[in-house]
Amino acid sequence: MHTTIRTGTDCGAAIADNCLVTANNEPILSYLTDMDGVLVHEDHLVPGADKFLAELRDNGTPFLVLTNNSIRTPRDLQARLRHTGLDIPEEAIWTSALATATFLNDQRPNGTAYVVGESGLTTALHEIGYVLTDSDPDYVVLGETRTYSFEAITTAIRLVERGARFIATNPDATGPSRDGLLPATGSVAALITRATGKDPYYVGKPNPLMMRSALRRIGAHSQSTVMIGDRMDTDVIAGLEAGMRTVLVTTGISTRESVEQFPYRPTLVVDSVADLVGRTGTPFG
Ligand SMILES: [Mg+2]
């Protein structure tokens, strides 16, 4: 790994004069990129996102597309993305459901879980050999769904009360839709927490665990990987905490102005991933 001695503001206020940091011009070998707000808006392509991904593919740069949404399987997402004009292989999609399954497989292989969620989550858990049951499961795993039932939530609450470990795929309180906000996993988790007094362990962003499992998935190293996202409070902080350099795009939630309100900042802010086309190998100059 190349390092260089830098001085002054590059090093942060806590370190005086000289400090050792990873050079910003170290070659970029791989990319992690958030999906919604970066590559697509719901069912619409962010202009230039196709060219950005094409450049990564043409250069043989490994990349993974990340989403905190655990509703769909990578295959379903691939089809949805193809519809918008993005051709992304199934293997290049990393969901919070896959990250959760990887986490549980590491923690307690061949375990049991009661799942409140959709096929994205149930498929991921089946694939790691988990048995889905409401009979004394190791875990209650909560994911995103559009068909929350009072009955399923009641079952989840009783199982957590009796000692099942409470896991949730992602902390997002709301999600976007054409008609306005939708309650998301974090809001339903709050309901279960209120009833049981127990907080879930959230696997998805901003937990850097999701980034680390994504890096492992493509055999990448944090020092030579860039995380691209549209949110300071999830994508940028998670990338930062996982040891990556970060790019904030302003095609989604966070604006250039909002960056100053956070105690951390991305390595680079650009208007869109389209601005990275032609320089994905050296995005920081
Ligand atoms: Mg996003």
pLDDT tens digits, one per residue of 45-87 = 999 999 999 999 999 999 999 999 999 999 999 999 999 999 9
Give the pLDDT of residue 143: 98
Residue 113 C-alpha to ligand 1 middle, in angstroms? Answer: 28
Cα radius of gyration (the chain): 20
The two structure tokens encoding residue 48: 């230039």
Place of tokens 């960056």: 259
Q: What is the CA(36)–ligand 1 centre distance, in A? A: 4
Which token pair is 268? Answer: 């680079």
Quick one: tokens of 44? 């619409």
pLDDT of residue 25: 58
Would you list the domain boundaries of the chain?
Answer: 27-68+206-276, 99-202
Q: Tokens for 56?
A: 């990564």
According to the CATH classification, is domain 99-202 in 3.40.50.720?
no
Q: Is the pLDDT of residue 184 over 80?
A: yes
Is 136 one of the annotated active-site residues of the chain?
no
Measured CA angle at 252 (ends 250, 254), to 5 deg = 65
DSSP H helices, 133-282, are 150-161, 185-196, 208-217, 237-241, 256-259
> What is the average pLDDT value for the chain, to the nearest integer?
91
Tokens of 186: 């974090």
Can you give the pLDDT at residue 285?
A: 84
pLDDT surpassing 80 at residue 228:
yes
Query: CA–CA separation, 245 vs 198, rounded Å?
Result: 34
pLDDT at position 21 over 80: no
Relative to beta strand 174-175, strand 182-183 is antiparallel
The catalytic position among 36, 50, 138, 230 is: 36
Residue 106 appears among annotated catalytic residues: no
- pLDDT of residue 213 exceeding 70, the answer is yes
Does the domain at residues 27-68+206-276 carry the CATH identifier 3.40.50.1000? yes
Give pTM, 2 decimals. Answer: 0.89
Q: Which pair of structure tokens corresponds to residue 267?
A: 């390595």
CB 189 within 8 A of CB 142: yes
Is 50 exceeded by the pLDDT of residue 20?
Answer: no
Q: Find out whether 235 and 266 touch, Cβ atoms under 8 Å.
A: no
How far is the centre of ligand 1, averaged over its atoms, from the C-alpha of 248 (Å)?
Answer: 10
Rounded Cα distance between 171 and 113, Å, is 19
Tell me which H or E stretch contains 225.
strand 225-229
Please tell me the distance between residue 24's alpha carbon and the centre of ligand 1 in angstroms. 24
For residue 24, give the DSSP letter. T
Among 28, 32, 37, smallest CA distance to 63 is for: 32
Residues 121-145 have a mean pLDDT of 98
